[in-house]
Amino acid sequence: MRTTLDLPKDLIDEAMKATQINTKTQLIITALEDLIRKSKISGLKKYKGKVDLDMDLNAIRGRQCRS
């Protein structure tokens, strides 16, 4: 999808230098993907301490414990 954006040149240049990304398109794609990922992580944080993960992985995976 084509979109015209008016972005500060110094901001784009700094982001390209910091990420070693050579194209503006890839830079914007990477920034959007990172924004989405951070948003999803933030949404998961509300479950911190509320999920009981007390499970025996060896039993789940059918492993025999060595004694």
Q: What is the pLDDT of residue 67?
A: 57
Q: 17-21, 24-28, 43-47, 54-58: which range is least confident on average? A: 54-58
Per DSSP, helices labelled H in the chain are 9-19, 24-44, 57-60
Q: Check whether 32 has a pLDDT greater than 80.
A: yes
Sign of the CA dihedral with 3 first, then 6, 7, and 13 last: positive
Q: Check whether 66 has a pLDDT greater than 70.
A: no
Q: Check whether 17 has a pLDDT greater than 70.
A: yes
